[in-house]
Amino acid sequence: MTEPKVTYDLRVVRFDSLAIVAETNQLMAEEDIDDMTGYAATTEDAGAKLTNAGGGGTTGLVAIAARLLHPRNIVITQVYGAITAGNVRVCGIGMSGLPTSELFALGTSTATLTGNVPFVRVNEVHVWGVTGSITTSDTFGIGTGAKLGLPMGSDCTLVDVIKEKHNFVDYAVTPANINRTYGTYTPTEAPGADHEIEIWYTVKRTLTW
């Protein structure tokens, strides 16, 4: 039996000045869950957070230009009120340039829900299946996490991260921070607003011809 042919590529990506602050609401400020679902549309206060006055509506994502400066994972910060369950799906464009999404399950307590999928762009957020007594105490906001997406094609797999540089200084690579399934790397030294980060990595592609 003939073994498949595999090619390996060495790549480098440089992220300009950025401050990675996980679990903050860069993508969507904290909103009432009932405002997003319309479950209490006849009584809730529409407020400034809704795109359609009168109760119920869509999530208030920030302007497109401010959503994602670099490919990152998504972090949802849920503040517990009285719900028992619910679903949130974030939709957008992934590292391969193709549409992607990630599903989050809302729980029954205050929690930080950390995603794995790196998004280049976030386009929509859908909320459904919310159960329990939905009040203004049930809220969540959406931010970006510390996992940086490493550019590669849809037919590529991340093999290893071999070099990490901050402001042109080498830092030790932390193997445990490499996620080969999703093609992300969490930097050993958190990037700051005063310098850039450079990552050298290898990918493999299995040839089908």
Q: What is the pLDDT of residue 204?
A: 94
Does pLDDT of 56 surpass 50?
no
Please answer whether residues 160 and 201 qualify as being in contact, where contact means their C-beta atoms are separated by less than 8 angstroms.
Answer: yes
* Per-residue model confidence (pLDDT) at position 113: 93
- Is residue 168 exposed (0-12), middle (13-18) or buried (19+ Cβ within 10 Å)? exposed
Q: What is the pLDDT of residue 110?
A: 85
Nearest one of 73, 144, 136, 79 to 106, comparing CA atoms: 79
The whole-number average pLDDT for the span 161-182 is 94
What tokens appear for 180 in the block?
């080969």
Q: Which of 56-70, 173-187, 192-206 has the highest mean pLDDT?
A: 173-187
Residue 207 CB neighbours (<10 A): 9
Q: How far is 179 from 173, CA to CA, in rounded Å?
A: 13
What confidence tens digit (pLDDT) does each residue in 5-53 have? 889 999 999 988 776 666 677 888 888 777 665 554 434 333 333 333 3
For residue 23, what pLDDT is reported?
66
What is the DSSP track for 15-30? E-S----TTS-SSEEE
Fill in the amino acid letter for 79.
V
pLDDT above 80: residue 173: yes
